[in-house]
Amino acid sequence: MAFVAVSDLLRAADADGYAVGAFNLNNLEILQAIIAAAEAEQAPVIIQATQGGIKYGGLDYIAAMARVAAEEARVPVALNLDHGTSFEQAVRCIKAGFSAVMVDGSKLPFDENAALVKKVVDVAHAVGVSVEAELGKIGGTEDNITVSQREALMTDPEEAAEFVARSGADALAVSIGTAHGVYQGEPKLDFARLQEIARAVSIPLVLHGASGVPDGSIREAVRLGIRKINIDTEIRLAFAGSLRELLARDAGVYDPREILGTAREAMQKVVQEKIRLFGASGKARSAGGAGR
Ligand code: 13P
């Protein structure tokens, strides 16, 4: 199957009360691990590349690898640009065949963020590509800021409603207390805020920075309306941990297939656990989705 539209996957998830996992790829083994996990769980899956991942792997390589994976997979697969920051980047990815793009204008003033997303939406929708936007700032691991500073960075429910109406986005990444990368303490999610945003906004909501968030908090976030969950760091940690362990244990190993093949298995395990946690296991058939 060709890539499916993310909006189709998220609509099905919303009707059934689960979240679709969105996993970042940077190389072949990560992609294979994600697809193998989705197939083992019979789950729809979103693979995504950041601008950094695209710079590392090359846009055409990333798009071609992902396209082959989607065509061969026995589950619905979407390809998303993660944290694109410009109109030009979004258009390059749409041209390369991505079925969704995220435009992250969260560092811009509200009006400029909405205008940038709207500009991308107008082009993307013309060719059946869906658009994710972000309102509020999802930090790095900035744990030493005050509560009021933290709250100021979070998504405001009323602003979210206006932002969605103005931008025409198909999905909205919200800031409710998560951060990208490795947490120093346990992340505390603002569920009351999430509930208010879900009430104010009718499009699917996205949780970034989900690595390291306790399972109970993830389940609660899904219950309250999160429909797409991004995981990157835990895949990286599994990859690096596997390499470190194997190379320390066996000084004679030198075959990349053995080294990276072991890492691939470790990453697949992480992705499968996340898919199960998100409630997406067994949903491949009902998720459907029109191809791009
Ligand atoms: P983590 O790196 O915390 O898993 O976050 C991933 C993410 O949100 C990518 O956009």
Question: Ligand 1: does its nearest atom lie under 6 Å from the Cβ of 208?
Answer: yes
Question: Ligand 1: does its nearest atom lie under 6 Å from the Cβ of 180?
Answer: yes
Q: What is the CA(48)–ligand 1 centre distance, in A?
A: 11
Q: Are 101 and 59 in contact (CB under 8 A)?
A: no
The answer, yes or no, to whether residue 292 has pLDDT greater than 60, is no
Residues 5-10 have a mean pLDDT of 94
The answer, yes or no, to whether residue 114 has pLDDT greater than 50, is yes
CA distance 10 to 289: 10
- Reported pTM: 0.95
The answer, yes or no, to whether residue 142 has pLDDT greater than 70, is no
Can you state the angle between helices 87-95 and 59-72, rounded to 10 degrees? 50
Task: Classify residue 168 as left (phi > 0), alpha (psi -120 to 50) or beta.
Answer: left
**pLDDT for residue 269:** 98
SS (H, E, C) 67-83: HHHHHHCCCCEEEEEEE
Q: What is the CA(187)–ligand 1 centre distance, in A?
A: 14
Task: Classify residue 128 as left (phi > 0), alpha (psi -120 to 50) or beta.
Answer: left
**What confidence category does residue 20 fall into, taking pLDDT thresholds of 50, 70 and 90?**
very high
**pLDDT for residue 127:** 96
* 165-210: pLDDT as tens digits: 999 999 999 999 999 999 989 999 999 999 999 999 999 999 999 9
CA nearest to 133, candidates 115, 152, 150:
115
Closest-CA residue, ligand 1 atom 1, reads 209
Question: Ligand 1: does its nearest atom lie under 6 Å from the Cβ of 32?
Answer: no
Q: Taking the mean position of all CA atoms in its chain, how far away is CA 46?
A: 7
Question: Ligand 1: does its nearest atom lie under 6 Å from the Cβ of 104?
Answer: no
**What confidence category does residue 1 fall into, taking pLDDT thresholds of 50, 70 and 90?**
low
CA distance 38 to 45: 6
70 or 152: which leads in pLDDT: 70
Residue among 132, 172, 180, 239 to mutate when testing ligand 1 (max atoms within 8 A of CB): 180
Q: Which of 79-93, 116-130, 143-157, 196-210 has the lowest mean pLDDT?
A: 143-157
Closest-CA residue, ligand 1 atom 8, reads 208
Atom of ligand 1 nearest to the CA of 233: 2
And the tokens for 81?
């640009």
Residues 237-261 have a mean pLDDT of 97
* 41-51: pLDDT as tens digits: 999 999 999 99
Question: Ligand 1: does its nearest atom lie under 6 Å from the Cβ of 84?
Answer: no
* Domains of the chain, CATH where assigned: 6-288 (3.20.20.70)
Question: Ligand 1: does its nearest atom lie under 6 Å from the Cβ of 210?
Answer: yes
**Identified catalytic residue from 8, 14, 60, 82:** 82
The answer, yes or no, to whether residue 86 has pLDDT greater than 50, is yes
Closest-CA residue, ligand 1 atom 5, reads 209
Ramachandran angles phi, psi of 135, nearest 5°: -130, 130
The fraction of the chain above a pLDDT of 90, given in percent, is 91
Question: Ligand 1: does its nearest atom lie under 6 Å from the Cβ of 82?
Answer: yes
And the tokens for 152?
């100021």
In the annotation, is 82 catalytic?
yes
Residues 144-157 have a mean pLDDT of 75
